[in-house]
Amino acid sequence: MRKTALVTGASRGIGAAITGKLIREGYSVVGIHKGSTHPRSLPNLEMHVVDLSKNTQIKRFLETVKTRHFDAIIHNAGIIKFEPPEGIDIDIWYETLATNLTPAVLLTEGLLSNINKGGSIVNISSTDSFVGSFSSLAYSATKAALNNLTKSLAVKLGKRNIRVNAIAPGWVDTGGGMLLPSSRQAAELTPLGRLAKPEEIAEVVYFLISSQASFITGATIVVDGGYSCVDYVMKKEAEEVSPI
């Protein structure tokens, strides 16, 4: 019997890569997307248009799948918006919170009785969650909160043998979208010398929901090619002393 996974933000970027990977591994996928892109048609893929920033639409979706059972839930959907240099744009704050964090709580809570014993939840966080942000503090704050939510859910759901983990990707080449031209300079600072491919994040998702990760819960796995190990000033200092 096929296992079933729910993937949010399933129509593009990391979400599309996760969806494709799970289907290739024998899963049926229930995907959520906002409707701004036309998702590719794949066998064993059922797509739903849901604006996750709207609680009413989440409730309507939960009603639609109330008789379904899931072996994995991947909270991937998220937005990033840049604030002005000074001050806080409270509208961006509320929109980011409503999209990046609250749906993970509402969907998990709403589907608790639908998650099979031994099931797994994976939250897609970011390495931005570990540092201060100059222009996207709402994004960084919600991803940091997602890391902590991962730990709390792991504690709460462990007795039901449901594992909860997070992945914190570094810079990922999704073909545009969340990347600015200056963002591509990250490859120069990454020890592996490039940005991640969405498929590489999907591979870690599949590992975490598999039996190979059966004793991993409450963890945030960094997948960044070593980027977070690098101090920019120390790197430049070393290049001045002895070019790398």
Mean pLDDT, residues 132-157 = 97
> Which domain range does residue 235 map to?
4-241
**Contact yes or no for 50/57 (Cβ under 8 A):** yes
Kindly state the percentage of the chain with pLDDT values over 70.
94
Least confident of 51-65, 87-101, 104-118, 183-197: 183-197
Whole-number pLDDT of residue 174: 86
User: How would residue 176 be classed by pLDDT, with cut points 50, 70 and 90?
Assistant: low
Complete DSSP assignment for the chain: ---EEEEESTTSHHHHHHHHHHHHTT-EEEEEE-SSS-PPP-TTEEEEE--TT-HHHHHHHHHHTTT--EEEEEE------PPPSSS--HHHHHHHHHHHTHHHHHHHHHTGGGEEEEEEEEEE--GGGGS--SS-HHHHHHHHHHHHHHHHHHHHHGGGT-EEEEEEE-SB--SSTT--GGGGGHHHHSTTSSPBPHHHHHHHHHHHHSGGGTT--S-EEEESTTGGG--HHHHHHHHHHS--
- In sequence order, the 6+-apart residues with CB closer than 8 A to the CB of 131 are 140
pLDDT value at 211 more than 90: yes
Model confidence over 11-50: pLDDT tens digits?
Answer: 999 999 999 999 999 999 999 999 867 667 789 999 999 9
Whole-number pLDDT of residue 84: 87
**Contact yes or no for 146/100 (Cβ under 8 A):** yes
Global pTM value: 0.93
User: How would residue 236 be classed by pLDDT, with cut points 50, 70 and 90?
Assistant: confident
Whole-number pLDDT of residue 180: 65
Least confident of 22-31, 57-66, 108-117, 166-175: 166-175
Sheet with 4-8, side-by-side order of all strands: 45-49, 28-33, 4-8, 70-75, 115-124, 163-169, 220-223
User: How would residue 227 be classed by pLDDT, with cut points 50, 70 and 90?
Assistant: very high
Average pLDDT score, the chain: 93
> How many CA atoms, within 13 angstroms, populate the side-chain half-sphere of residue 98?
14
Whole-number pLDDT of residue 38: 64
Mean pLDDT, residues 206-222 = 98
Q: List the CATH number of the domain containing 212.
A: 3.40.50.720
The residue from 139, 206, 227, 232 that is catalytic is 139
139 catalytic? Reply is: yes
d(C-alpha 211, C-alpha 233), whole Å: 41
pLDDT value at 235 more than 90: no
Which is nearest to 34 in space by CA: 16, 12, 9?
9
Domain count, the chain: 1
Whole-number pLDDT of residue 6: 98
- In sequence order, the 6+-apart residues with CB closer than 8 A to the CB of 16 are 10, 39, 40, 198
d(C-alpha 196, C-alpha 171), whole Å: 6
- Token readout for 151 is 């730990």
Whole-number pLDDT of residue 108: 98
